[in-house]
Amino acid sequence: MLRRLSADHGSFRTVTFRPGINLLVADTTETSRETDSRNGTGKSSLVELLHFLLGAPAGKKSLTSRRALQKITFALTLDWPGDGRVTVQRQGCDPGFVRLDPDVRHDSGGLFDVAGPAVIPTAEWNRLVEQTLFGLGLDHPGISGRTMLSFLMRRIAAKAFNDAVRTFPQQSEAEATANLAYLLGLDWRLAAEFRELAARESTRRQLRKAVDDPVWGRIVGSVADLRGQIALAENEVSRLKDQISSFRVVPAYEELKNRADDINRRIRAIPNEDITDRRNLEDLQKSVSEAADPDTSYLERAYQELGVTLGRQVRQRFDDVQAFHASVVRNRRRYLMDEMNTIQQRLEARRREREQLGEELASVLKALEEGGALEALTALQQALAQKQASVDALKHRYEAAQALESSARQITAKRAELQEAMAADLDERQTQTREAILLFAEYARRLYGPEHEAYLAIQSGTNSLKITPFIDRGDSRGIGNMVIFCLDLTVAVIARRHGRGPDFLVHDSHLFDGVDDRQIAAALTLGAEVAEEEGMQYIVSLNSDDLSKAVQRGFDVEDRIIEPRLTDGSEEGGLFGLRF
């Protein structure tokens, strides 16, 4: 049970709880003005503080994170099984840790073994709450003490009064009913599997949507496209492996390559030199043929016919000139012949050079073709590594695409399997479902009479365990709030009876918004009786006019209102004793 809510700030009005029903009333005073309101007196803040001290996350917008409150140390004293009572303290400016007094982690089995206070992480405090108040083990996927506390202490800030089986509007039905299943004694693991399945389905839909996107579609790809890409890439990998396995590293590869280039250039230059020499040779041959002795015999016949007799001296000089000219002709022909020989020798030398170069070039090219440089082998190995990595990436994408395309079938099959298993489990747990159904129906009849149909339907749904509380009185907000009241009371009682939940239930005054006076009185009377019969604590905050209407309808309020009595007459009248 909860015992005391306090703070180290002087203006805070300590709340002391007791067994049974506890009414925290917000009243108007004679000094209240028409513009005053009991909204903001602290009724809903009481629930927020209880959640805060029992380990709720404290974001920047949370109540205790406000500047006026964040340095205040709030404290809650509650009964702790095996350790008597424990007081937990926590500050909004340091929400990651709580102070426990005594340290309930300590085994106080010894007679003189007294544990002192301890500061522990809030996450560890949450685990202690789950283990001690809800009896959860270390492994409980899909359910949490925080969610179950949200059913036992609904928060108006989280819009927990919008739906009986949800603690906030965005909560999935699978998550909510898994936690309710635990509190009601049903197979919560099966119910939680629906939650996992819902998460897989959500992920699959997001991936499917991404695949349909023109850009992401190219990144993820389809199974058919990726299968073809993998085949081509693997063929390229095989080709590169064959090249590497047959590759032979040629020493001095660059030198051979340069020699081949030099030979090629020389072979290309030789024909040009031959053309020049052959042209010169032809000219020389023509000059040789033209270098002949002139015929001078006609001169002597010409002189004889003219009757001129040449003297001996003239004849001598003519012979000398003729001999000199013959000598010149012989020398020229010899020179020309020598030049021709030289040219022919060069032509012959280049022919032999060309043959030698051709043989050498063939040898070098053969060596180059049979292997390559070490750098070429390294480049091939790098290309193979890149292509292999590409194949691996394609295979991962193929597996992802295959899983995506097959996940829809798997999810459908798993959902059908879960639905069948859940239905079979509900048949086997008729004792638990019967207890919940009868208790809910009894509470509903206490509020609206036996003539109105009321039931708690528990069945295996397509996407989750279906828990449907129903009272045949229409769809008004007041009726809906009383459905929540009956369901919460049913869940709290069953969880308390079987050791799966704490012994308190807390309701905010918003639960009674729109509720008829008769049902307010009946609900408070029922809550008081059930709390006394079950050894529980039912804490309710409500406005004084709602309480007055309930009293007028027969609710016995004696000794059920707890201190403080909240008012809207001044800043000091609220729970915190200050405005913020």
442-477: pLDDT as tens digits = 999 999 998 888 999 999 988 889 999 999 877 788
Residue 309 lies in a domain: no
Q: Distances from the Cα of 7 to the Cαs of 247, 366, 381, 576, in angstroms?
A: 83, 95, 72, 9
In this prediction, residue 231 carries a pLDDT of 93
369 vs 360: CA distance, rounded Å: 14
In this prediction, residue 37 carries a pLDDT of 52
Confidence band of 280 (pLDDT split at 50, 70, 90): very high
In this prediction, residue 213 carries a pLDDT of 66
pLDDT above 60: residue 337: yes
Residue 525 lies in a domain: yes
Do 509 and 543 form a contact (C-beta atoms < 8 A)? yes
Confidence band of 209 (pLDDT split at 50, 70, 90): confident
Confidence band of 549 (pLDDT split at 50, 70, 90): very high
In this prediction, residue 30 carries a pLDDT of 59
Tell me, what CATH number does 54's domain have?
3.40.50
Please give the residue that has the higher pLDDT: either 305 or 212: 305
Please give the residue that has the higher pLDDT: either 316 or 24: 24
Q: What is the mean pLDDT of residues 393-410?
A: 80
In this prediction, residue 547 carries a pLDDT of 93
Residue 383 lies in a domain: no
DSSP letters, 208-242, are: HHHHHSHHHHHHH--HHHHHHHHHHHHHHHHHHHH
Confidence band of 226 (pLDDT split at 50, 70, 90): confident
Residue 298 lies in a domain: no
Q: Quick one: what percent of the chain has pLDDT higher than 90?
A: 58
Please give the residue that has the higher pLDDT: either 94 or 297: 94
**Domain residue limits at 154:** 1-31+38-171+503-579
Phi, psi of 573, rounded to the nearest 5 degrees: -80, -15
In this prediction, residue 113 carries a pLDDT of 56
Q: What is the mean pLDDT of residues 261-281?
A: 93
- What's the domain count of the chain? 1
488 vs 469: CA distance, rounded Å: 10
Beta pairing partners, 119:
99
Q: Distances from the Cα of 329 to the Cαs of 70, 148, 270, 290, in angstroms?
A: 130, 133, 34, 10
Residue 143 lies in a domain: yes
Place of tokens 């890149």: 386
Residue 77 lies in a domain: yes
pLDDT above 80: residue 546: yes
pLDDT above 70: residue 125: yes
Residue 408 lies in a domain: no
In this prediction, residue 216 carries a pLDDT of 60
Confidence band of 106 (pLDDT split at 50, 70, 90): low
Residue 115 lies in a domain: yes
Task: Provide the whole-model pTM.
Answer: 0.68
